[in-house]
Amino acid sequence: LKLKLAYPKPYLADANVVENAAIDLESFSRHAGRTTITTDDVLLMTRKNEALQGILRDFVEKEQAKVPKGKGAGKGKGKARGN
């Protein structure tokens, strides 16, 4: 079943940006020999936009400061990991 749907141009442009970002993130992760996308991949993707990269770095640093630093902290099953 094929439907002919019309989408506004801004929607298509946004969808294209998101698709390209996903492809880039997968490529960076794969190149690093990982199957999981990390914050390092996101920061690498923003390398040409210094303002955005700065905002994201600040956010990551604040989030990492919230994580308790102790023996075995963050090493449980199902815990999110940010690099």
- Torsions phi, psi of 19, nearest 5? -65, -45
Is 17 inside any structural domain?
A: no
How far apart are the C-alpha atoms of 9 and 52, rounded to whole Å? 25
Alpha helices (runs of H) in the chain, residue ranges in sequence order: 9-31, 39-45, 50-66
Domain that holds residue 57: 39-65
pLDDT at 45: 94
Q: Mean pLDDT for each 10-residue chunk of the chain (83 residues)?
A: 80 88 96 95 94 96 89 57 55
Is 5 inside any structural domain?
A: no
* DSSP structure class, residue 73: T
Is 18 inside any structural domain?
A: no
Is 60 inside any structural domain?
A: yes
Is 56 inside any structural domain?
A: yes
pLDDT at 54: 96
Is 44 inside any structural domain?
A: yes
Domain count along the chain: 1
Is 52 inside any structural domain?
A: yes
